[in-house]
Structure 1
Amino acid sequence: MSEQSKGGCVREQYRHWQRIPTRWADNDVYGHVNNVVHYAFMDTVINTWLIDAGLDIHEGAEIGLCVESHCNYRASVSFPDTLDAGLRIGRLGRSSVRYEVGFLLDDTVIAEGHFVHVFVDRTTRKPVEIPAALRTRMEGLVVA
């Protein structure tokens, strides 16, 4: 087993963890969780964390728009598996952030991916600085 696939080593690389149960509907005709579901899981982990960190996703002046996403798949999972989703920030800019997410089943790395959000004004959709209070919370997720 490589260092990358040892759960203990990987778990230490992430700052926040969330459990995500798979659903029956997540399985595709091949009997495993379809690749597109991993993107929905990433979106869920990131937005759950943002809401908990104080971002008002419904009426706040700033919102994060996904401008880039990527996922590497390493192993299959299927319903009724429950995944551990690790979240960290690989890059924190003035108006953008790169979230990195790792999915583990027990101690096996299932997938690793990232989302890049650019924070914009809700109305004009022009980039804005990440709000100070949110930036402070994000700094706790940053990895070297």
Structure 2
Amino acid sequence: MSMRDAGRDQFRHFLTIPTRWMDNDIYGHVNNVVYYSYFDTAVNQFLIEAGVLDIHQGEVVGFVVDSGCSYFSPIAFPDAVHAGIRVAKLGNASVRYEIALYRNNEPLPAAAGHFVHVYVERASNRAVPIPDAVRAVLSDLIILD
């Protein structure tokens, strides 16, 4: 199934993100770069709420090394974005998230994409294995076919 046709049941976690007036561009819809902000917000809010990301003091953090987005229909202020996240691949030091952005109560995503974190030791910026606590939380986001 393509992400374009991904129903909400394909995601284990959702975060509702209100659009802001400043998100709209001159064409009257949310500008493409803002979608990446929604991805970042959904993933990191999940990790913070799960207690496995300390953005200020954590010794190991995830750095974004790859992201992409496909756009299917516009989102505009004052819509609410429902960001569904799932884990598509859980490696030794990296995780690939898939995120779908649903506009208001629409059943199919307005946009969808991916976001890859590589876990690094903050002090050295060197890749390290995903910590066990993080791996356990991420495992709950894997959708098995």
CA offsets, 1:2-37, max 9 Å, x none? Answer: x9666xx61111010111110000000000000000
- Counterparts of 2:99 and 2:90, CA distance in 1: 15
**Structure 1 vs Structure 2: percent identity of aligned residues?**
47
Q: Residues 103-138 of structure 1: CA distance to partner in whole angstroms, max 9, x if unpaired?
A: 112223100011000000001000011111111011
Instruction: State how far apart, in whole Å, the 1-side matches of 2:10 and 2:108 are.
Output: 14
Q: Does 1:62 align with 2:91?
A: no
Gap runs ≥5 in structure 2: none
The 8 Å contact of residues 60 and 121 in structure 2, kept in 1 or not, is answered as yes
Change (3 A) 1:124 1:4: closer
What is the match of residue 89 of structure 1? 87
Partner of 1:52: 49
Of the candidates 35, 51, 69, which is equivalent to residue 38 of structure 1?
35
The structure-2 alpha-carbon separation of the partners of 1:51 and 1:113, relative to structure 1 and needing over 3 Å to count, comes to same
Segments of 4+ in structure 1 off by > 3 A?
Answer: 3-6
Q: Deviations over 1:18-74 (max 9, x none)?
A: 111100000000000000000000000000011112211111110100000000000
Gaps of 5+ in 1: none
**Residue 22 (structure 1) aligned to one of 14, 19, 24:** 19
Within-5 A mapping of 1:67-82: 67-82=65-80
TM-score scaled to structure 2, two decimals? 0.92
1:11 maps to what in 2?
8
Deviation at 1:77, TM superposition (A): 1.2
